[in-house]
Amino acid sequence: QVIAEGEAVLVDPASVNHDAVAVANPGSFDVRRKDNPHLTLSYGLHHCLGAPLARMEMQGAISELFKRLPDLRLAGEAVVDDDNLTQPITDLPVTW
Average pLDDT over residues 22-43: 78
Residue 53's pLDDT is 92
CA distance 7 to 41: 26
Q: What is the dihedral of CA 53, 92, 74, 38, to 10 degrees?
A: -40
Residue 34's pLDDT is 80
pTM: 0.52
CA distance 48 to 62: 21
DSSP 8-state symbol, 6: T
Average pLDDT over residues 37-54: 80
